[in-house]
Amino acid sequence: MMFFNKNVILATLYLNGCWMDNPSMNKGSSTVVIGIILSLVLGLLIGVVSSPFFVKPATVTEKITFVSTSHVTRLTTQTHTETVTVTKNIPEIKYANLFDISFYKGCKIVKDALNRTFILVPKNEQSQCDIEGIVIRVPIERVVLMSATQVALLERLKELRPNILDTVVGIMWGRQYDWYFEDIKDALLSGRIKDVGGPEAPNYEEILMLNPDIVFIYAFPGMEAMSKFDELGIKYAVINEYLENDPLGRFEWIKFIATFYDLDTEAIKIFNKAEQTINSIAIKVADNKPPSIAWFSVYKGIVYAAGGESYVAKALRQLNAEYIFSNVKETSSFVTTIEELLGHANEIEIIIYPGIASSVSDILLEASGLSETSAVKLGRVYAYTPMIYQLGFYDIEGWYQDLASILHPEDFPDHQLKYFIRLS
Amino acid sequence: MLNTSHLGVGYRNRIVINDACLEVKPGELVGVVGPNASGKSTLLKTLAKLLKPLSGTVYIDGKSLAELSARDVAKKIGIVLTERVQSGLLTSFEIVAMGRYQYTDMLARLTPHDRQVIMDALRSTGASSLAERRFSELSDGEKQRIMIARALAQEPSILILDEPTTHLDAKGRIEIMMLLRKLSRMKKIAIIASTHDVELAIRLCDKLVVCSSGKIKVYDVPEQLVEEGGVEELYGFNNGLSFCKDTLAAEPVINDDEDFRIFVIAGGGSGVIIYRLLNRLGYAFTTGVLHEGDIDFIVAKSIGGRVISERPFKEISDDSYTEALRELQKSDLLIYASPPIAKINQRNFELLTAAKELGLPIIQYIRESNIGNYAMGIHFVDSISLLANMLVEYCKGLSKDKDKDILVAKTE
Amino acid sequence: MSRIVFRQSKFFWIGALLLLIPLIILMSITIGSVDIPPEKAISKLVNLGEPDTTSIIINSIRLPRVIAALAGGAALGISGAILQVFFRNPIADPYVIGVSSGSALFIALAIFMGTSLGIGNPFSPYTLYIAGFIGALLVSIFMIFASGIVRSITTLLIIGIAISYLASAITSILQVISDIERLHVFIFWIMGSFSGVKWLFVNFLLISIIIGIVSSMFLAKPLNAFMLSENYAQSMGINIRIIKIGAIALTSFLTSIVTVVAGPVGFIGLVSPHISRHISDTSDNRFILPTSAIVGAIITASADLAARTLLMPRDLPITAITALFGAPLVIALLLRGGGS
């Protein structure tokens, strides 16, 4: 299982519950202290061993403490920005916790998932900014992406900026996926978009040759690539949407990507529309009797279930369902036993298996005790369809719609499932 | 040179040999003998400083071994062990060159003098021609020579060898022991070698150290051990095994078939081969009349035959003759070994005649050297293998007949 | 005399192998997903002309990588040679002393338990290097300590293997209780690769290797004596304890550094000594240690070149390549040589 399609693995990072705790943001101080101690020790080591060779990394990680109450406008009007009152769209960050966009002295100040500071300066203009950070000239024109989720967000932006995908010059693992986005598929086949290796060992020289304005990456613990990018002077921004514990929080990262293209307004439009659609779905099912649902995969007797504070649990709560593990304080998926799962056997009305399965018996093979649940008896067992990994995030409203129709079929009598499949 | 005072050797808290006092002088070859697990190796390893003594002290040239540095010890003592050597692709020369360890620099580069010493060592063990051969491709005997040469290359004044003759064939064993003897004389070094081969040690060593039951006993004259009957005691010889002092040979005694008796008339060395044949086939035998000191007498005794004897150089007396005749009457078969007949053993011929008259089956064995010395009217063979076959066939029949007799007796 | 010719042939081989190194460096800096002709590569290497993307590719990507592979391979080759003689075991390799397992254990701890224990920033690229280094260091210290008190070298070998099992046991427990995503990260880490190696580590590696090779020459002479046996070595006046500690300290030091930089790179330490014994036709460690270092360097650098070019743009785990090409080679050598 651990060696299955990279596509699936990568996608599970954002759909199968969050990866892991979010230490740098939530656990704040203790992590910072330990981080400082470790970097001191490392610095000492480096200094002693090879001071003459040491290249100082370009990254700046310290916290900048200015408070910005002003709001970013479209940068085309930014000549006045400092004094002029904000008149237009407010890219307020409503759900996401891991990034921030603010405005300061004619530049956009962006914080990525690792709290690194970017100063987005419009092309052909001098930066007035006195903040330390990575300067990016916007709008960006050459981009390397690391994950299918980033592709999905750009595909959404395509609604309002049709040629946006022309900026994509490279995708990690690009040719490893089965793409559901035809334009990406074609561009990879024709070689216009380069496959630049796997996330654990990117093809650095190819990336260098592509000369991207920025590389969008996601970070995972133990990732080496960032330090090598630092050494090579390749600029990168970390999009850890998979760590957000709200589905809309994940989707909100569209604002992060969009701001590098100066497409803030467009992103806000897209986001608000999606939010409204989802809210209306939620309202529609709000008065139903909440069904009880189990959301887990099982492999070799080990149950991997979505945590009670994960984005899945959040979506289920929104859609008026009882998640059996809602009291497990875990923001990512967690490991539990089949016995624990069977403890809830008489409640489970619906089972969603976050993975590819061909029949109910596949699941019963691993956990036969589930055969007595009403979910199995009434045939309310669902699994993923392969397209969920790419399109499920792109089409977040569709994902909600599917989920709502699974939970409350009486309200959506004619709905055809796209991202889930009912198992027999 | 090397001496010990009240030395106790062993491992951890298990004492193997206690209170050992020993002195070895330059030019001496000292054999260390004793049964398995009697502590020979432990003693030698302690002398070579591979083990710490549990008590007492080893002195080299008056200095305590414990006080000498490892480097000095390496220049004083060379060792040859029984351990398997993993030589890989090393040549014999390279192995011997390792003996120069303490004399060479960090990269073990050899000076012309070192090469000289190495070649000398090889020459003195008769292994010069093996120098460029791979050590792993040599025979056991050749390997042993190289290992001795390696120890000699350390230019030691004491050479300690643990079982240098195991794994070797009879010739190799003798050659290695002879080599050690020669080296001790030629290089004026003290050589201490343990061995299982007591017979050889008695023959070649200047001194014997006998390890047994936690003690050592030093024999300045190895023959002393033989005369005292020490060898039998040492190995706990009992039925089934005997040690012949005269031939210095350990003899297996089998004669387990007491159903019938074979009488052998022999003398003057004519019987030795027949005794050994009978013993190997497991047949008990009586032989006579032999003169004491005759080789037939010595061998027959040592392998447990019943011997009717006469004092040396005396004519066979009536007593002996009568005894022989009595035995003959009880026998089932006579083998006549065609001994040289002279006046003093004339009556052996009479025994043969008596046997004919008794109707005893008789086989005469004639060695080529004894041709012409045969008695008329007797079935004779002239090859030992033929004799062996006949014996086996005949004795088979004999036991069957006996069984029949018993059956008859019972039915009656 | 035949002896002199014989010796010269050994030096000839060392020389010939050394000449291969510049060749492999040249190949490594010219071959890749971006084509750089050799003459351009060399001129960029010596900093002729304007610095551009090509010179960054050569100087910051390909050069550190090939140098790391050469240095790492040399370290493994020399460690393997030392340990095979030391343990009197032709299948010993640098990983029998448990260093990589210790390293893997601490990396696993950092990945699987790190956030729950609040150790470090899991996203820092250095966290796992530090964890790996601590793990390797702890095992090394334990092994050095054990080598000081254990009498028999075989016992030491068994202790090393036992530690490997112990560390692997804890690692596998951690793997079972972890989720699939973190397992995936862990597997990336322990597969072993020189991808993305940074100059910082390369310099560290290079300095260590030079120290290692120089100090290993102090071991060549006593190791030769060790080939006979421990007792013989002792009888030649060698301080067994110091050599034991020295051999274990040196090999665990070298192996730790390579493991931290590139993960466990299998097979190099096993085959390099065998190959060098074959080509130099001797077991004399004064030749085998340097030759094994050179052979290890060449094989590792070639394997790394293959690892990053065979399935471009994928980077393959280097152990896969070393075993894929090294195993048949060593089997052929041993069969032809009748097994030495």
Question: Residues A264, A376: one domain?
Answer: no
User: Given an 8 Å threshold on Cβ–Cβ distance, is C118 in contact with A23?
Assistant: yes
Q: Do chains B and A touch (3 or more CB pairs under 8 A)?
A: no
Segments in B169-229 forming alpha helices (H): 170-186, 198-204, 222-227
Per-residue pLDDT for C7 more than 60?
Answer: no
**Same structural domain, A164 and A292:** no
Q: How far is CA A64 from CA A114, B299, C212, in A?
A: 13, 109, 45
A164 and A218 both lie in a single domain: yes
Q: Cβ contact (<8 Å) for C236 and B99?
A: yes
Q: Is A253 inside a domain boundary?
A: yes
Can you tell me the mean pLDDT for A311-322?
A: 90
Q: A318 and A195 in one domain?
A: no
Tokens of C98: 């448990």
Instruction: Let me know whether A229 and A325 are in one domain.
Output: no
Which residue of chain B has the CA closest to C234?
B50
User: Do A237 and A197 fall into the same domain?
Assistant: yes
Is B409 inside a domain boundary?
no
Tokens, residue A261:
């293209």
Contact flag C220-B108 (C-beta cutoff 8 Å): yes
Out of B150-164, C69-83, C183-197, pick the least confident: C183-197
Q: How many CB atoms lie within 10 A of CB B113?
A: 10
- Show which of B187, B202, B235 is a domain's final residue: B235
- B221 with B275, same domain: the answer is no
Q: Are residues A292 and A248 in the same domain?
A: no
For residue A340, the model assigns a pLDDT of 85
Q: What is the mean pLDDT of residues A305-319?
A: 90
Q: Is B51 on the interface with C (CB under 8 A)?
A: no
The residue in chain C having the minimum alpha-carbon distance to the alpha carbon of residue B153 is C236
Q: What is the pLDDT of residue B307?
A: 92
Whether B278 is in a domain gets the answer yes
Residues B160 and B272 in one domain: no
- Look at residue A136 and tell me if it is in a domain: no
Q: Are residues B229 and B257 in the same domain?
A: no
> Chain C interface, mutation test: which of B49, B89, B115, B160, most C Cβ atoms within 10 Å?
B89
Task: Tell me, yes or no, whether B175 and B61 share the same domain.
Answer: yes
C154 touches chain B (CB under 8 A): no
Same domain, A174 and A214: yes
Low-confidence ranges of chain B (pLDDT < 50): 404-412
Can you say whether the dihedral through the CA atoms of A135, A138, A143, A149 is positive or negative?
A: positive
Alpha-carbon gap: B217 to the closest alpha carbon of chain C (Å)? 27
In a domain, A127, yes or no: no
Residue closest to A354 by CA, chosen among A315, A319, A328: A315
Single residue among B180, B212, B235 that ends a domain in this structure: B235
- Output the pLDDT for position C52: 77
What pLDDT digit, counting tens, does each position of B113-169 carry? 999 999 999 999 999 999 899 998 999 999 999 999 999 999 999 999 999 998 888
Co-location of A335 and A384 in the same domain: yes
Say whether pLDDT at A76 is over 50: no
> How big is the B-C interface in CB pairs under 8 Å?
89
Is C178:C112 a contact under the CB 8 Å cutoff? yes
Q: What token pair was written down for C68?
A: 């790391």
Tokens of C274: 């065998």
For residues A262 and A175, state if they share a domain: yes
User: The complex's ipTM?
Assistant: 0.81
Show the tokens assigned to A41.
Answer: 């020790």
Report yes or no: A211 at the C interface, CB cutoff 8 Å.
Answer: yes
> Which domains are seen in chain C, by residue range?
2-336 (1.10.3470.10)
CB-based contacts of A203, cutoff 8 Å, min separation 6: A196, A197, C33, C308, C312, C313, C315
Tell me, yes or no, whether B53 and B187 share the same domain. Answer: yes
Which residues 6+ apart lie within 8 Å of B265 measured at CB? B287, B288, B334, B335, B336, B337, B339, B348, B351, B352
What are the chain C neighbours of B93 within 8 Å (beta carbons)? Answer: 3
Query: Cβ C283–B99 below 8 Å, yes or no?
Result: no
pLDDT band at residue A37 under the 50/70/90 scheme: low
Tokens (6 digits) for B320: 């002996």
In the stretch 11-50 of chain B, residues with CB closer than 8 A to chain C read 45, 48-50
- C313 in contact with chain A, both atoms CB, cutoff 8 A: yes
Checking if the pLDDT of A18 tops 60, the result is no
| Beta carbons within 8 Å of C179's beta carbon, 6+ residues apart | A304, A332, A333, A334, A335
Q: Which residue of chain A is at minimal alpha-carbon distance from C261?
A: A224
- Whether B216 and B259 map to the same domain: the answer is no
User: Taking every pair of C-alpha atoms in chain C, what is the biggest distance, in angstroms?
Assistant: 70
Q: Does the pLDDT at position A49 exceed 50? A: no
Same structural domain, B34 and B123: yes
CATH number of the domain enclosing B270: 3.40.50.720
For chain A, which chains pass the contact test of at least 3 CB pairs under 8 Å? C
Residue A390 structural domain: 286-422
Q: Identify whether B186 is part of a domain.
A: yes
**Can you give the pLDDT at residue B183?**
93
Q: Is some CB atom of chain C closer than 8 A to the CB atom of B89?
A: yes
Paired strand residues for A420: A384
Indicate if A302 and A236 belong to the same structural domain: no
Same domain, B268 and B170: no
Judge if A325 and A376 occupy the same domain. Answer: yes
The beta-carbon neighbor of C227 closest among B45, B75, B87 is B87
pLDDT for B15: 87
Q: Which of A42, A201, A221 is opposite residue C122, by nearest beta carbon?
A: A221
Domain that holds residue B156: 2-235
Same domain, B184 and B306: no
What pLDDT was estimated at residue A356?
85
| Burial environment of residue B28 by CB neighbours within 10 A (0 to 12, 13 to 18, 19 or more) | buried
Q: Is residue A44 assigned to a domain? A: no
Q: What dihedral do alpha carbons C154, C160, C162, C163 form, nearest 10°?
A: 160
**CATH number, position B87:** 3.40.50.300
> What is the count of structural domains for chain B?
2
> Are residues B184 and B60 part of one domain?
yes
Q: Does the residue B244 lie in any domain?
A: no
- Cβ atoms within 10 Å, residue C206: 19
What's the DSSP call for residue B101? Answer: G
Into how many domains does chain A fold?
A: 2
- Put simply, whether B153 touches C (Cβ < 8 Å) is no
DSSP letters, A163-196, are: TGGGGEEEETTGGGS--S-HHHHHHHHHTSSEE-
The terminus-to-terminus CA distance of chain B in angstroms comes to 81
Token pair listed for C84? 């095979």
The residues in C 217-236 lying below 8 A from A, measured between CB atoms, are none
Q: What is the pLDDT of residue A78?
A: 35
Query: Chain C closest CA to A207's CA: distance in Å?
Result: 10
pLDDT tens-place string over residues A206-265: 898 899 999 999 887 777 788 889 888 899 999 988 888 889 999 999 999 999 998 888
Write out the H or E segment, with its range, that includes residue C69: helix C63-86
Q: Residue B85 and residue C231: Cβ atoms within 8 Å? A: no
CATH of the domain at A166: 3.40.50.1980
pLDDT digits (tens, 9 = 90+) for C264-321: 888 888 889 988 888 888 888 888 999 999 999 999 999 999 988 888 777 888 888 8
> Does the distance separating the beta carbons of A50 and C111 come in below 8 Å?
no
DSSP state of B61: T
With contact defined as beta carbons under 8 Å apart, do B204 and B177 qualify?
Answer: yes
When the pLDDT of each residue in chain C is averaged and rounded to a whole number, the result is 82
**What residues of chain C lie within 8 A of the CB of A194, using their CB?**
313
The reply to whether B6 and B117 lie within a common domain is: yes
pLDDT, residue A388, reads: 87
| A228 in a structural domain | yes
Tens of pLDDT, residue by residue over C124-133, are 767 778 888 8
The single residue listed with the structure tokens 């069984």 is B403
Which residue in the block uniquely carries the two structure tokens 């409503």? A94
Count CB neighbours of A280 within 10 A: 11
Q: Please judge whether A9 and C60 are an interchain contact, meaning their C-beta atoms are less than 8 angstroms apart.
A: no
Contact at 8 Å (CB) between C171 and C187?
no
Residue A103 is assigned to a structural domain of this protein? no
Is A89 within the bounds of a domain?
A: no
Of B50, B75, B89, the CB nearest to C234: B50
pLDDT of res. A45? 53
Smallest Cα distance from C128 to chain A, Å: 6
Final residue of a structural domain among A247, A275, A303: A275
Look at residue B241 and tell me if it is in a domain: no
Contacts A–C by Cβ distance under 8 A: 172
Give the model's pLDDT for residue B206.
Answer: 93
Residue B259 to residue B257: CA distance in whole angstroms: 6
Chain C hits for A114, CB-CB cut-off 8 Å, are: 123
For residues B269 and B121, state if they share a domain. Answer: no
Among A20, A53, A173, most C C-beta atoms within 10 A, so best to mutate, is A20
Q: List, as ranges, residues 161-190 from C with C-beta within 8 Å of A.
A: 176-189
Chain C hits for B108, Cβ within 8 Å: 220-221, 224, 286
Is B412 part of a structural domain of the chain?
no
Question: Considering the domain boundaries, does residue A225 fall inside one?
Answer: yes
Contact A38, C130 (CB under 8 A): yes
